[in-house]
Structure 1
C-alpha cells in the first residue's frame, strides 16, 4: 500500500464547520473529490495530491528551512478519525498565504542545491534507491503543482486540510 500526500481547499467558513463536524468534513472532501474526478472544470481544483513525492518534498523543504509544514499541516483537525495514516491537519488561510509566498520565492533547483542522492538513501526517503542527480527530477512536477495549488488557494483566501492517505 502506498502513502499519498493529499490536500483539500476550504473556505474559512467551511474550515470552521469542519472543525465543529469532522464527519461532515470527510464527507465533503469525498464528495468534491469524486465530482472533480468526473472531468475538467473551469474552477481551480479543490483537491490536490503530491502522490508518493510527499516524503521527498518534506525532506527537501525541511532541509531548506521552509517556514510552513506544508506536507503534514500544522493544526490538528481535533476529533477527526484517521483519514489514512492518521487524522488530517490543516493550514489556516493566513498560513496558506505565507506558504504560497514562500513557495513562489523558491525553485525546485534551489531545493536540490547541494543535495546528494546518498543523503536521501541514508534518510530512507521514499522511493529509496536514489541513483544519481537525475533521479531527483522525479519530484519537480509535484513541487510545481503544489506551488500552483497554494497560489490558487491563497488567491481565493482558502485554508487547506492536509493528510497522508
Structure 2
C-alpha cells in the first residue's frame, strides 16, 4: 500500500479532546478530509527544497506540527495549531499548482530520493502532483478561514 498522507481539520473542542485522550480521540475522528495519496513527499519537496526538513509557513504543510499520540505507521500524527495553520495558509495562498510547476524538476526529485520515485513519468506533475498540491492548498485555506487546527498522518 505504501505511505499515504491524510489531513483532518479539527475544531477547538476536538483539539482539547486530543490533548486529554490522544488515542481515544484519534480513533473517533473518522475519515480524513484530505488524502494526498503518495504525492505528499513530492509536494513537500516543492515547498521546501528538502526531503525531510520543514520551513516556516508553507513548508510546514506536509511534515510540520507537533507529534501527538502513538506511531500511526510512519511516526505519530502531527498537530498544527490554528495559528500555525493560518501561517501555512498564508504561505500557500499564492502557491497554486501553476506556481509550483515552476519549481518542478524531475531530476532533482529523483536525486533527492523523493517518495515514491515516479517523478520522471510523463505528465506526473499535471495529472498527480499538481492536482494534489491544489487540494492541499484548498484544505489549508478552508481550515484557516474556520480558525481550525490540522492533524496530519502518514500511514
SS at match of 2:150: strand
Structure 1 contact 48–149 (Cα < 8 Å) conserved: yes
Q: Equivalent residue for 2:37?
A: 51
State the SS of the aligned residue for 2:62: coil
CA–CA separation in structure 2 for the residues paired with 1:105 and 1:72: 20
Matches within 5 A, 1:140-159: 140-159=130-149
Which residue of 91, 97, 105 corresponds with 2:94? 105
Relative to the length of structure 2, the TM-score reads: 0.85
Larger Rg: 1
Segments of 5+ residues of structure 1 without an aligned counterpart are: 34-45
Give structure 1 regions of 4+ aligned residues with deviation exceeding 3 angstroms.
none
2:63 to 69, 72, 92: 72
The number of aligned residues is 149
Which of the two has greater strand per residue?
Answer: 2
**Is 2:6 the counterpart of 1:20?**
no
RMSD over aligned CA atoms reads: 2.1
Offset at residue 52 of structure 1 (A): 0.6
Q: What per-residue deviation string (whole Å, max 9, x for no partner) do you get for residues 76-130 of structure 1? A: 21xx111221111111001111111211121323223253211111111123143
Q: CA deviation at 1:132?
A: 6.2
TM-score normalised by structure 1 residue count: 0.80
SS for the counterpart of 2:73 is: coil
Partner Cα distance (2:102, 2:56) in 1:
14
Unaligned runs of 5+ in 2: none
Asked if 1:130 corresponds to 2:119, the answer is yes
Of 72, 82, 88, which aligns to 2:77?
A: 88
